[in-house]
Amino acid sequence: MSNDRLGVIGGMGPQATNTFYQYIIDRTDARTDQEHLSVLIFSDCAMPDRTAAILGTQAQKDEVYERLLSDARMLERAGCTAIAVPCNTSHYFLDRVQEQISIPIVHMIRETARLLVSQGKKRPGILATDGTIRTGLYQREFAAFGIYAAAPRPAAQKQVMSLIYDDIKAGKAGDPEKFAAFTKDLVEQGCDCAVLACTELSVFANQHHLSPFYVDAMAVLAQRSIELCHKPLRAVF
């Protein structure tokens, strides 16, 4: 029996954390309780808004970093052997956190880049918060793999943020018309796929049947976390 234990820094937002854990359950090839992955979830709902911190002052950035580091150290002390953070925007801080702990943090953005390379994708569109887009998190990581990403144009990006904050984070069902509007923008820019690069968009994907045009970064994170913790994968269609 594996002694691996996945630690999850969640609460960003709570529904996305719930969806991530369901992804873990659905994608683990287990037939008994004991065959599932041991997971310790800390839903840190008091975490300051990551987008506001990234676009704000150094003090705001440091506050988020220190809290993420404190959470990671707590999970490390609790015996976790790897950490997943189902929040794309928080990855702005995670390389710095990784330097301070000895267990690996599964990097959702890099793992998604590796998947796109394996699929032969060249021009993904990035659907994410303003913070993720403006810092170039995905663009920079993807470029290191020879993939050149596009972001929605300003009017379409407003629709992305509205779906994330006004709908999903507010506990409402996501508006398919908003989703269709910013998807159309990416198609017009010549994108060959669209990456759901915000976990609230993963919640939307869990509520709707989306085409293979979309790559769910949180699903990639779940799969890689399972593999890193030495559990067999189950195919999900």
Higher pLDDT, 52 or 67: 67
Give the span between the Cα atoms of 165 and 142, in whole angstroms.
Answer: 26
Identity (one letter) of the amino acid at 132? Answer: T
Query: What's the mean pLDDT when you consider all of the chain?
Result: 94
Q: Count of residues for the chain?
A: 237
User: Residue 161 above 90 pLDDT?
Assistant: yes
Helix (H, G, I), strand (E, B) or coil at 112: helix
Q: Are 214 and 193 in contact (CB under 8 A)?
A: yes
Q: How far is CA 137 from CA 101, 126, 198, in A?
A: 22, 10, 12
- Provide the whole-model pTM: 0.92
pLDDT of residue 13: 85
pLDDT of residue 105: 98
**CA 179, 84, 49, 16 torsion: positive or negative?**
positive
The residue written with tokens 């950490």 in the block is 83
The residue written with tokens 């032969």 in the block is 120
pLDDT of residue 1: 54
User: Residue 237 above 60 pLDDT?
Assistant: no
User: Residue 102 above 80 pLDDT?
Assistant: yes
pLDDT of residue 103: 98
User: Residue 232 above 80 pLDDT?
Assistant: yes
Interval 106-137: pLDDT, tens: 999 999 999 999 999 999 999 999 988 988 99
Bridge partners, residue 76, by sequence: none
Catalytic residues: 87, 198
